[in-house]
Amino acid sequence: MPTISVPQSLLRSLMAQQGFDHDVAVVNEQLPLLGTDIDACTEDQLDIEIFPDRPDLLSGETLAFAMANFIHNAPAKPHLKVGQSGITMTVDKSLKSIRPVIFGAVVKGVHLPEDEEERELFIKGLMDHQEKLHFALGRGRRRASIGVHDLSKLAPPFRVVSVPATHRFVPLACEEAMSVSEILEHHPKGVDYAHLLEGMSAYPMILDSNDDVLSFPPIINGDHTTVTHETRDFFIDVTGWDERACEASLMLVCLQLAQRGGEVQSVEVTTCEGTNVSTPMGDGQQHTVPEELVTQLLGRSFTDEELNNAIQRMGGNFDGRQPARSDAPKHADKMATASAGTSELLFTMPRWRFDILHPVDLVEELAIGHGYEDLGEDLPRAPLTAQPREDHHLRRRLRESMQGLGMVQIQSLTLSNEEDQFTNMRWSPNHEVTTITNPITVDHTILRQHLLPGLLKLLAANRHHDLPQAVYELGTVVRNHRNEDRLAFLTAERSGGFAAVRGRIQALCNDLGVKEWNAEPLEEGDGPWLTGRGAKLLINSHWVGCFGELDPAITSQYDLRVPLNGAELDVSALMATIEDPV
């Protein structure tokens, strides 16, 4: 989850502008209910983790905007006041196959702090918000990328064109002009995001009337548009492939600057398809929610006053009820449109609430705004009896054996990444890897295929504790998109070696009643094992896993400087080769 650090002085200032007192104790108590996880809340600093479904809380300014409604019951403002700037931006038809969605906005008269240090914190916060939106909404700048510029250094109107790789300009934080190809090959941002333009022969470029480069999206801005301590008027461009993500990103940056006293103004954009649009659109978006859906999911009905109070705390307005439309499609699914004869509830929510995708999302908003402590009661309808798993007895015996060897059971995340699972461990993905379509963090992009990387990371996090340390996990991995069970253990001890781990394997086999087992050496570089100190475990001539001493070249990547030995076994293979005595 994204983490933000907000000075309490900023929150006090923003709340005072709206006539509210900022009480740290109240924030510490109430804010987690809004969709955050507080790491620290002191008189000076607020450190919080924002849940992925609330990208509108990723800056101190937008967080304060939401807090005024939720904590202080301020009147909701789902509409963003937008004036007209008179500035136009024309998008060339060639952008349709390069980067088709392009929006713009102007914010004038932003009030900056008098103190130089606080101004620097404002600029840092603006850039930090931009990067967090790149990750949360832009999916690493693929769906949406943001450029923030000093409007006073620009000469409207603007043009968005495609240019060849030889086109040259001075990129941000550079003194010499570089070509597009040089930027993609040598500039740090170009190296990081060149993959987004891979295979293209023409590249997007935003120019002003002097043909000066504002931005080379989604890579880097031009150097002359840099925001400084003197910037009061801003131009924001957002480009990408996802219209909804681009719109939300643009509005959230505008909202952040509007909270600093800025006046948001629209830009007239002629799209690559030749249509004219005015961005951003400040009007809130109306949503229809079947009343039946609210009653069924929350277990009770609500009065108009309760609905109004609940949705206002979440930043929206309750617009009343209406009979269900007779032409609405009928579905058996209660998540869909209400049946004829029931009523529908109308709510207006801000357009920047990117997370509201379905009526059920509004039901969740009502539950949070009203409070979970005053909802209906129900009894579970699912059967409460069950049959034991086929491998129940084997899993019990494995746990008892591990605990008998003095090991502590742990449970790590099923989510992992290719670097931890394969690159660092010298394993190759011999089975199909299940990847996450929209990962929340770069650390959680696939479902794990091995347990040992999780044990290594746990010991790395606890390396300040005394030795020996011995842990095991009996958990699920995903191979070829199917769940499989595995057992892994890892021991850190000063005298540990292959003899020690072979003794533990022998003890495990004795506990399982295995009489015939042997070990065969592994090939060099086959997994994290030290050459000549790793082996395959064969039971009744069938492979069930590997064990051995870990290579220091592997463990040093985790800052582990002591001998480690361990094993990873396939529970299904064990079950197929070991007779169940029960």
Q: Encode 12-36 in three state secondary structure.
A: HHHHHHCCCCCCHHHHHHHHHHHCE
Q: Which residue has the tokens 């495990």?
A: 508
Q: Could you tell me the sign of the dihedral formed by the alpha carbons of 510, 516, 522, 527, in that order?
A: negative
Ranges for all domains in the chain classified under CATH 3.30.56.10: 3-70, 285-372
To the question of domain 3-70 being in CATH 3.90.1310.10, the answer is no
pLDDT tens, the chain, 582 aa long: 678 899 999 999 999 988 899 999 999 888 888 878 888 889 999 999 988 889 999 999 999 999 999 999 999 999 999 999 999 999 999 999 999 999 999 999 999 888 888 999 999 999 999 999 999 899 999 999 999 999 999 999 999 999 999 999 999 888 899 999 999 999 999 999 999 999 899 999 999 999 999 999 999 999 999 999 999 999 999 999 999 999 999 999 999 999 999 999 999 999 999 999 999 999 999 999 999 899 888 988 899 999 999 999 999 999 999 988 766 554 444 444 444 447 899 999 999 998 999 999 999 999 999 998 888 777 777 777 777 778 888 899 999 999 999 999 999 999 999 999 999 999 988 889 999 988 878 889 999 999 999 999 999 988 888 889 999 999 999 999 999 999 999 999 888 789 999 999 999 999 998 888 999 988 888 889 999 899 999 998 899 999 999 999 999 988 888 899 999 999 999 998 887 776
Q: Other CB atoms closer than 10 Å to residue 336's CB: what's the count?
A: 15
Fill in the DSSP letter of residue 297.
H
Model pLDDT, residue 546: 94
Cβ 373 vs Cβ 332: under 8 Å: no
Q: Which residues contact residue 258 at a Cβ distance below 8 angstroms, ignoring those fewer than 6 apart? A: 80, 81, 107, 264
- Paired with 548 in beta bridges are 534, 566
Cβ 187 vs Cβ 119: under 8 Å: no
The CATH architecture annotation of domain 83-279 reads: 3-Layer(bba) Sandwich (3.50)
Say if residue 218 is preceded by a cis peptide, omega within 30 of 0: yes
Cβ 564 vs Cβ 383: under 8 Å: no
The CATH architecture annotation of domain 285-372 reads: 2-Layer Sandwich (3.30)
Q: Give the integer Cα–Cα distance in Å for 525 and 523.
A: 6
Q: Other CB atoms closer than 10 Å to residue 135's CB: what's the count?
A: 18
pTM higher than 0.85 for the full model?
no
Ranges for all domains in the chain classified under CATH 3.30.930.10: 392-577
Q: Which residues contact residue 241 at a Cβ distance below 8 angstroms, ignoring those fewer than 6 apart? A: 99, 100, 101, 142, 143, 144
Q: Which residues contact residue 82 at a Cβ distance below 8 angstroms, ignoring those fewer than 6 apart? A: 264, 265, 266, 280, 281, 282
Q: Three-class SS of residue 399? A: helix
Q: Give the integer Cα–Cα distance in Å for 224 and 204.
A: 18
Model pLDDT, residue 335: 45
Element housing 237 (H / E): strand 234-240
Token pair in block for residue 470: 């011995």
Model pLDDT, residue 328: 55
CATH of domain 392-577: 3.30.930.10
Ranges for all domains in the chain classified under CATH 3.50.40.10: 83-279
Q: Give the integer Cα–Cα distance in Å for 579 and 582.
A: 9
Element housing 37 (H / E): strand 36-41
Q: Give the integer Cα–Cα distance in Å for 534 and 567.
A: 9
